[in-house]
Amino acid sequence: MAITNLSGTRFRLPFWRQLGDWAPTGISIIFGYAVLFILYFPIVMLMILSFSGEPNTGIPGDWTITWYEDVIFADIAKRDGEAYGSNFRVGDPLLLSIMLAFITAVACVIAVLIVGPILPRIKWRGPFLVGFLMPLMIPGIVGGVGLFMWYRLVIHVKMGIWSLVLAHFVWAFPFALLAMLVVASRFDTRLMEAAEDLGAKPWQRFWQIEIPILKPGIYAAGFFGFLLSFNELPFSIFMRSGQDTLPLYLWIQSGAHNTTVPLIFAMSTIVTIGSIGLTFVAIKLAFGGGKNDVK
Amino acid sequence: MPRLPAGVWSLSGFSLLWFGGIVLPLLAIILVSFLQGRGLNINFDPTIKQYERFFSYGGGEMLARSVRIAGTVTLIELLLAFPFALWLAKGCKNNTVKLLTFTALTVPFFLSPAARVIVWRSVFGINGVVNQVLLGAGIVDEPVLWLIFSEFSVHFGFIGAFFPTMVWPIFLSVSLIDNDFLEASGDLGASRLRTLLHIILPLALPGIVAGFVFTFIPMLGDAVVSSYMGGNNVLMLAAQVQSLIGVSNFLVAAALAAVVLAIMLAFQVLLWFALKPVGGLAGVFASLRR
């Protein structure tokens, strides 16, 4: 688009301002949001179908909460030692998953506090970064097989809760670290030096300077660790021992019979809504506000 | 006075632990794939028998299929994501729209991959809503079977699931391009196409390569979409590895995983070269500081 100014010379609008009225841009925006629609349609549909009478057909309607009752009561009946219609019992997997997610979150926060503040300050951070972020570029299935090969085949250790914790930590730590690095690279180390000059002891510098400034990164690391562990599947397939995590249990059930599909929908809906809620809390705590920014 | 920052020791200690968590297992894959044995008992006799076995059982075909599907979808994602990311980074002026789109692109990372695709089976199934609508409208006479458990459905499932991993890196690299460059290019009389090809594309290349790696590699090893959308009809890498482990054929599984690892390492080298002009991974983070 050319615009004529008062003196009569024609000049062009900057490129990025012309993008708005560029026809291909319009198409690309439509396509982009179309893909986002494809991404979110099944999530919304999951929630709608979990309240529908016949979820298997994918047709909403005939509203009911019977699937949710089944999910809850089947588990309570099992705890009381009674028989109940369905064989679908999510209680133990749910507890295991919450426990794993909590441990992973705490581990992520500790690890990120060790690595995050120091990494932007050292000269040879390249190799460390590549090493720490490597799992992001490894398909979960390969990482899982690798852990399995090393611990089970090569050094012959029995799998247990520890192996699930290890796998979930390996999977979640890179994401937690990324979040922390975004915060930590903005950390002005002169604040620490000033505190030292003013006589602050190491633990005072840690608690009163480092922790408050890094707080958004700490929150993010904790929430990311929790959520990524809670929904993790590929690593868990190989690192479990007897007990199933919730995603594993739903995964196995969904392969088994059609009759449990409505219950899987109901349970997945609960988990999805919980995860979305936690994600929003995490984003708000970690990146919202910006009050903690020290420039 | 320059000195070693406190905490270098704890960093080293943690790195050692991390080594046991991820590097040793990856090395173990390569090691085990060259050994022989049965079940959990392996003896340390080097051999390439496992690779021969893997390929003689039709593993090559499965591998080619996995690479083909993941490659096709990655290219589609690139075509969809690049213009979208460009618009998001430079064109979109509405902050609310931007924020909503960012959120929409972030939330899926934290949802269960299974919960994200399981519904398609009901929607696309023989008695599913799509078939009922098509039958009801008289467009088809009998249910369309290729809607689910086919290569079509696998491609379709991947496109939604792996869009954010392509958009984010490209968005980041494009938003780091200084607007002055684009303005200068325009002022000097370059057409929009010329600016795109000679300014934006070279500067966004690291992001494009990163997006390619972050999309292609996880898709190649994806366990969820391929089995929910493809069933037994479209067998891909992850399902094959799982079934091999399931029947205690650990060594062939290791050979297969080693092949994937080799592909992955090739891409990491590619990414390393792509990021070199901007100072490597460390440079990307340095630029975040601005």
- Give the pLDDT confidence score for residue B52 in this predicted structure: 87
pLDDT at residue A146 tops 50: yes
DSSP secondary structure string for all residues of A33-47: HHHHHHHHHHHHHHH
Orientation angle between helical segments A140-148 and A161-184, nearest 10 degrees: 130
Give burial (CB, 10 Å; 0-12/13-18/19+) of B157: buried
Say which DSSP state A259 is in. Answer: T
**What chain B residue is nearest to A17 in terms of C-alpha separation?**
B91
pLDDT at residue A295 tops 60: no
Per-residue pLDDT averaged across A43-48, rounded?
91
The rounded distance, in Å, linking the Cα atoms of B194 and A55 is 52
- Give the pLDDT confidence score for residue A83 in this predicted structure: 65
By the CB < 8 Å criterion, does B171 face chain A?
no
Reference B239, options B18, B16, B12, B69; nearest CA is: B69
Q: Please answer whether residues A220 and A180 qualify as being in contact, where contact means their C-beta atoms are separated by less than 8 angstroms.
A: yes
**Of residues B24, B220, B268, nearest to A150 (C-beta):** B24
List, for residues A251-269, the tens digit of each pLDDT value. Answer: 888 876 667 888 888 999 9
Q: What does pTM read for this prediction?
A: 0.84
Inter-chain CB proximity A185 and B106 less than 8 Å? no
The rounded distance, in Å, linking the Cα atoms of A230 and A101 is 5
Place of tokens 């482990």: B245
- Give the pLDDT confidence score for residue B167 in this predicted structure: 94
- Give the pLDDT confidence score for residue B148 in this predicted structure: 85
Cβ-based contacts of B27 with chain A (< 8 Å): 150
pLDDT at residue B144 tops 90: no
Per-residue confidence band for A293, with pLDDT thresholds at 50, 70 and 90: very low
List, for residues B69-125, the tens digit of each pLDDT value. Answer: 999 999 999 999 999 998 888 888 888 898 889 889 988 888 888 888 888 888 888
pLDDT at residue B278 tops 80: no
Least trusted range by pLDDT, from A121-125, A220-224, B138-142: A121-125
Q: CB count, 10 Å around CB of A170?
A: 25
List, for residues A267-281, the tens digit of each pLDDT value. Answer: 999 999 999 999 888
Inter-chain CB proximity A265 and B119 less than 8 Å? yes
pLDDT at residue A213 tops 50: yes
Inter-chain CB proximity A283 and B103 less than 8 Å? yes
Q: Which residue has the higher pLDDT, B275 or B182?
A: B182
Beta strand pairing call for B36-38 and B41-43:
antiparallel
Long-range residue pairs from B42-51, CB within 8 A, at least 24 positions apart, any chain: B42/A153, B42/B250, B42/B251, B50/B251, B50/B252, B50/B254, B50/B255, B51/B255, B51/B259
Per-residue confidence band for A14, with pLDDT thresholds at 50, 70 and 90: low
Q: Which residue has the higher pLDDT, B44 or B155?
A: B155
The rounded distance, in Å, linking the Cα atoms of B17 and B36 is 29
Distances (CA, A) of A132 to A215, A221, B18, B36, B190: 21, 14, 8, 32, 42
- Give the pLDDT confidence score for residue A23 in this predicted structure: 54
List, for residues A83-115, the tens digit of each pLDDT value. Answer: 666 677 888 899 999 999 999 999 999 999 888
In this structure, whether the domain defined by A90-287 belongs to CATH 1.10.3720.10 is answered with yes
Closest Cα in chain A, distance from residue B25 (Å)? 4
SS3 (DSSP) at A260: coil
SS3 (DSSP) at A165: helix
Per-residue confidence band for A179, with pLDDT thresholds at 50, 70 and 90: confident
pLDDT at residue B284 tops 70: no
By the CB < 8 Å criterion, does B285 face chain A?
yes
Cβ-based contacts of A165 with chain B (< 8 Å): none
Cβ-based contacts of A238 with chain B (< 8 Å): 245
- Give the pLDDT confidence score for residue A188 in this predicted structure: 79
Share the mean pLDDT of chain B.
84
Inter-chain CB proximity A141 and B257 less than 8 Å? yes
The rounded distance, in Å, linking the Cα atoms of B163 and A222 is 25
**What chain B residue is nearest to A264 in terms of C-alpha separation?**
B115
Inter-chain CB proximity A231 and B110 less than 8 Å? yes
Per-residue confidence band for B176, with pLDDT thresholds at 50, 70 and 90: confident
Percent of chain A whose pLDDT exceeds 70: 86
Strand partners, B43: B36
Closest Cα in chain B, distance from residue A20 (Å)? 6
- Give the pLDDT confidence score for residue A12 in this predicted structure: 58
- Give the pLDDT confidence score for residue A170 in this predicted structure: 92
Q: What is the dihedral of CA A226, A242, A247, A97, to 10 degrees?
A: -30
Q: What is the ipTM of this complex?
A: 0.84
Cβ-based contacts of A251 with chain B (< 8 Å): 114, 224
- Give the pLDDT confidence score for residue A77 in this predicted structure: 75
The rounded distance, in Å, linking the Cα atoms of B108 and A288 is 19
Inter-chain CB proximity A28 and B87 less than 8 Å? yes
The rounded distance, in Å, linking the Cα atoms of B93 and B81 is 18
Q: Give me B180's structure tokens.
A: 């002055």
Share the mean pLDDT of chain A.
82
**Of residues A25, A115, A122, nearest to B87 (C-beta):** A25
CATH of B66-236+260-288, one of 3.40.190.10, 1.10.3720.10, 3.40.50.720, 3.60.20.40: 1.10.3720.10
By the CB < 8 Å criterion, does B279 face chain A?
no
> How wide is the angle at C-alpha A24 spanned by C-alphas A39 and B82, nearest 5°?
50
**Of residues B7, B127, B129, nearest to A114 (C-beta):** B7
Inter-chain CB proximity A251 and B114 less than 8 Å? yes
- Give the pLDDT confidence score for residue B152 in this predicted structure: 92
DSSP secondary structure string for all residues of chain B: ---PPTTHHHHHHHHHHHIIIIIHHHHHHHHHHT-EEETTEEE----SHHHHHHHHTTHHHHHHHHHHHHHHHHHHHHHHHHHHHHIIIII---HHHHHHHHHHHHGGGGS-HHHHHHHHHHHHSTTSHHHHHHHHTTS-SS--STTSSSHHHHHHHHHHHTHHHHHHHHHHHHHTS-HHHHHHHHHTT--HHHHIIIIIHHHHHHHHHHHHHHHHHHHHT-SSHHHHHHTTTS--HHHHHHHHHHTT-HHHHHHHHHHHHHHHHHHHHHHHHHHGGGTHHHHHHHHHT-
Inter-chain CB proximity A117 and B7 less than 8 Å? yes
SS3 (DSSP) at A80: coil
- Give the pLDDT confidence score for residue A256 in this predicted structure: 67
Distances (CA, A) of B219 to B100, B111, B210, B211, B248: 26, 16, 14, 12, 25
List, for residues B4-55, the tens digit of each pLDDT value. Answer: 555 677 788 888 888 888 888 988 888 888 888 777 777 777 888 888 888 8
- For residue A3, the surrounding DSSP H or E stretch is strand A2-4
Backbone dihedral angles phi then psi of residue A128, each to the nearest 5 degrees:
-60, -45
Q: CB count, 10 Å around CB of A276?
A: 17
List, for residues B53-67, the tens digit of each pLDDT value. Answer: 888 877 888 889 999
Place of tokens 């030292």: A196
- Give the pLDDT confidence score for residue A272 in this predicted structure: 92
**Of residues B119, B123, B264, nearest to A138 (C-beta):** B264
Q: Which residue has the higher pLDDT, A124 or A249?
A: A249
Q: Give me A270's structure tokens.
A: 């609960």
Domain residue spans in chain A?
90-287
List, for residues B183-224, the tens digit of each pLDDT value. Answer: 888 788 877 778 888 888 888 888 888 888 889 988 988 888
**What chain A residue is nearest to B41 in terms of C-alpha separation?**
A153
Cβ-based contacts of B261 with chain A (< 8 Å): 138, 142
Q: Give me B213's structure tokens.
A: 């790696």
- For residue A139, the surrounding DSSP H or E stretch is none
Reference B156, options B147, B145, B165, B167; nearest CA is: B147
Least trusted range by pLDDT, from A11-20, A124-133, A209-218: A11-20
